[in-house]
Structure 1
């Protein structure tokens, strides 16, 4: 399997199973950091509780009288989900090298760290080793708001000289720490620290031994950690399993990632970097899968800052997850969010943020409900799961009623409230909420038709047509050849001017007041709703990304955005007005918009810009904010890569409910004579291999169709159809 290595010791890493997440720095340390929980976002987490602040190794050369807390100078992301730390130069002349490898089993509540010490000095090297851990049993962010309060301290009990169990004094939260390090010397207590004085309230546990190594000798030992958020018995049972079965658990994890790597395998000749990035974003998403007993399993937004579930992030990210074949993760995530939405709202509103303790900290922004409804139909097209569609349909109906009722008091089909851009005060009729409401109505139009609800189908069809027209009329700025950020009367804008100016000034924009006063002057005395291009936020691409923009307007808007006002070195700015932030979501949505309207070359340019941030922080991952800050891994990056490539470059249009796939490839010019393949593409219960290549000056599309589904080639207005198991069509050169 592939690995990626870096030598940036103070960068964070994220190492994960489906239960346990480990986050520290790439030198093997665990510094305090984080803002949701000040100084507590790192360490070892068994959501919804934290287990450890961290663990460290002290090495003492008894003959040279040198003692160091080992600090790694090389870090490797293993493609199977583990991490490796190499300690070559940080041991202060002690003639040994150390390798630490660690992983969290995907289906057990614990982790394993294995140390391998290799002697290279002539003669004998006598070492004293201290393996030290610090517990810190505490709940995830926002738990105190729902009455989950940890105790003031912890109680530690030594089971043996190499095994300790720790309990929170107020809650049934447990951590068990042990090692197969030889010897019996051990100390336990809250006063015991390693090289970092971590902020937690916890307990230090120190295992000590001595060993003698001859040249080329190798000494191995392991740290085992297990936890439980409910009982001592469960914690002890998990520990026993991990201690006994750590070898087979590692093999199980490797097999899981092998299967993941065999889904939706992309190969573009000459695009080694893109192929590699595509493979890694699938692995990244597995890092972000979180199981919590009693709540469910789902894709979290990002690590380590947002290790819980979000509506908005999911309805973007899961589009990429569908396209790369993990349909069970899509079901699990959406069902979890549906249950929490019913529990917190019950009126069709889709939640924004759910912690792993099960608390809903934000009941939902306007855009999220619309985007959820639109996504349900997308999910059905890929899975063909009739029961799943019916499970979500009623809440979708409630959701559109909420959007066009409570959230649309003036009845103009544009719901008010916050959208994706969560800036205080900008809770107007925003472009993304309006666009996704149109998409939601189109989705309900299709759902109701499929389910035989004729009256609703006619209603949704009419409303969808009206809303699409209204978006293209009201949000379009003829002067700017762009869609506006928001629609509002001038009376709604004037009270917000000072606040918007203050936001701009914080970003170093000194002439924003003059800009917005110019907009107000253009509006004159007209008190009717009108479009406002306030910040040129990235969401003004959503009419094109969602495919509802008029063709001429889409062409003009996309052309107007192909410049340095909107696009920087790493992709699309969050706001062209500020040009001070880029995310994979802003770049990805822009790339989808370009590809959706037939501009694959411009879409590929955006993906290549985004690709420059790959591995900048964690080897094998894109950061939340390009190129190198925010979460070190972010779920919606898979949307940014997979949707342009699968849905548009390869042109995959699934109709799983009809056992049919439509292909309408639109490759970038740079790939015109390249071999391009997408193998093991999953649609419903079928799998397809798609190859596009040139032979003897002619271009061919070949499809492996083992299930005998109907495959339709829609190529430049010509449609061809086959259900043969091996299909080959010549394309126009």
Structure 2
């Protein structure tokens, strides 16, 4: 397996198992940072509690009387989900090199850091080593809102010279820290710190030992950290599993990532960068899987700033997860969010944000209820899981009732409220909420018909057609060649001008007030609903992304959005008015929109722009904000990569419930005369290996179909069908 290395010591990294997350800087330190919990977002977390502020190694050359807290020169992300630090120059003149490798097992509540110290000095080198940890038992953000507060202190107990148990004095929260460093002695106390005075209230634990290394001799030792949010006994059991089985746990983790790598394996000839980005995006998503006993398992939004579950992040990201074959993760995530939505809302509204303590900080924005409903049908197409469809169908029906009644009092099929863009004041009839409501109506029509509710299905179908027509009429601005951000009467916009202008001015944008006042002047005395291009937010691409834009309007809008007003070096701006922020979601949705309307070259161009931000902060991942700020890893990047490539370039159209898959490929011109492979694509309980290539004037399609499902190829109006185990089609390259 590969690793990617960087030499940016102050950048953050994120290592993860399904239970434990580790976050510090790439020099091996753990500085305080974070805004949800001021100065507390890093360290070692066993959600919903924090275990450690961090850990550090002090190396003293007792002969030369040189002492240094080791600081890494380079950091590597391992393809199997761990981290590797290499120390050399940071050790002053002490003649040793150090490698620290760390990982969190996916199914144990702990972590292991292994140190390998190699002497390169002549003769003997006498060292004193101090391995120091700082505990910090506290709950995740927003826990105080549901009455869960950390204790005022922690109690430490030395179980042996090599193990120290620490407990929060108000809760059954435990962390057990130990080491197999030989000849160990320990010191424990709240005033024991390493090189960083971290903000936490916890306890310092210092393990120290002296050793002598001959030239080229290697010393290996480990730090073990186990935790429990419920009992001392569980914490001790986890520690024993780490201490006795760390090698096996590491092999299990590598095997998990090997299986992940082999699923939806993309190989585009001559596109090594894209192949690499696609592979690492799959790995990134495994880093973001969070398992919490008593709540569930699901894909979190991003690390380290948003290490909990979100509605809209999931309904984007899980589209990519479907395309890359982890159907269990899709099911687990959506079921967790459904359970919380029922618990907190129970009216069809889909939650926005759920912490790992189970607290809901936002019961749900308008857009995400619609997006959830639309996604449920797509999930069914990929999985064919009728029981799962039925589990969600009732809440989807409730959700549509909430959208079209509670949130749409004027009955125009444009629900009001906040969408993806959570800017204060923009709680009106927004383009993304309208588009995804239309898609949700289509999805519910198909769901209802499939489940035998024909009358309801016909009703939803009629509403969906009306909604699509209304979007193309009311939101469309022929003057601008774009769909509008919002629909509202001028009387609703005028009171927001001062506030919106102040936001623009804070971002250094001049003339915004005059721009909005010009729009109001155009409206004149007309007080009816009309479209408003307030910020030209990226969500104006959603009519094309969702495939509901009239074709001529779609092509005109996409042509307009290819300009430098909308697209920068790293992809699509969050708002063309500001031209300051770019995310993988804005670029990804834009790429999907281009591909949906038959523009694969433009879609690939956007993915190439997005690719420029790969490894800019954490090696092997894309940051939340392109190119290099926000979360160091973000879930919806898999949507941005997998949906254009799998669903559009390869043209996958799954119908798992019929044991049928259709292929409608539309590859970029850059891939002509190339071999394009997608291996072990999962649909339902079947797997397919797909290969497309153009050779000697023939387009060759080869598909492995061991389950003997019905496979359909639609190539430029020519339709081919087979249920053979091995399918080979050769088509005239000109047809």
CA distance in 2, matches of 1:224, 1:415: 52
| Superposition deviation, residue 699 in structure 1 | 1.4
CA distance in 2, matches of 1:184, 1:581: 51
Aligned 1:381-530 pairs, distance under 5 A: 381-530=381-530
Per mean C-alpha deviation after superposition, the further-off stretch among 692-701 and 604-613 is: 692-701
Q: How many equivalent pairs are there? A: 733
Q: Aligned with 1:417: secondary structure? A: coil
Match of 1:550 in 2: 550
| Superposition deviation, residue 377 in structure 1 | 0.2
Q: Aligned with 1:331: secondary structure? A: helix
CA distance in 1, matches of 2:108, 2:241: 8
1:262 partnered with 2:291: no
| Superposition deviation, residue 394 in structure 1 | 0.1
Q: Deviations over 1:588-638 (max 9, x none)?
A: 000000000000000000000000000000110000000000000000000
Match of 1:340 in 2: 340
Match of 1:91 in 2: 91
Q: TM-score, normalised by structure 1?
A: 1.00
Match of 2:534 in 1: 534
Match of 2:159 in 1: 159
CA distance in 1, matches of 2:163, 2:334: 40
Match of 1:28 in 2: 28
Match of 1:577 in 2: 577
Aligned 1:316-355 pairs, distance under 5 A: 316-355=316-355
Aligned 1:198-217 pairs, distance under 5 A: 198-217=198-217
| Superposition deviation, residue 718 in structure 1 | 2.0
Q: Aligned with 1:586: secondary structure? A: helix
| Superposition deviation, residue 726 in structure 1 | 1.0
Q: Aligned with 1:227: secondary structure? A: strand
CA distance in 2, matches of 1:421, 1:706: 45
Q: Deviations over 1:424-466 (max 9, x none)?
A: 0100000000000000000000000100101101100100000
CA distance in 2, matches of 1:534, 1:673: 44
1:142 partnered with 2:142: yes
Match of 2:61 in 1: 61
CA distance in 1, matches of 2:27, 2:367: 41
CA distance in 2, matches of 1:188, 1:393: 55
Q: Deviations over 1:306-336 (max 9, x none)?
A: 0000000000000000000000000000000
1:122 partnered with 2:122: yes
Match of 1:79 in 2: 79
Q: Deviations over 1:250-284 (max 9, x none)?
A: 00000000000010000001100000000000000
Report the RMSD for the aligned CA atoms in angstroms: 0.5
CA distance in 2, matches of 1:472, 1:458: 22
Match of 1:359 in 2: 359
Match of 2:10 in 1: 10
Match of 1:102 in 2: 102
| Superposition deviation, residue 185 in structure 1 | 1.7
Q: Aligned with 1:24: secondary structure? A: strand
CA distance in 1, matches of 2:420, 2:672: 36
CA distance in 1, matches of 2:591, 2:717: 23
CA distance in 1, matches of 2:730, 2:641: 27
Q: TM-score, normalised by structure 2?
A: 0.99
Match of 2:230 in 1: 230
Contact map agreement 2:673 2:695 (CA 8 A) in 1: no
Match of 1:665 in 2: 665
Q: Aligned with 1:689: secondary structure? A: strand
Gaps of 5+ in 1: none
| Superposition deviation, residue 354 in structure 1 | 0.1
Match of 1:288 in 2: 288
1:715 partnered with 2:715: yes
CA distance in 1, matches of 2:350, 2:389: 16
| Superposition deviation, residue 672 in structure 1 | 1.0
CA distance in 2, matches of 1:656, 1:399: 25
Contact map agreement 2:31 2:198 (CA 8 A) in 1: yes
| Superposition deviation, residue 714 in structure 1 | 1.2
| Superposition deviation, residue 697 in structure 1 | 2.6
| Superposition deviation, residue 542 in structure 1 | 0.1
Q: Aligned with 1:212: secondary structure? A: strand
Gaps of 5+ in 2: none
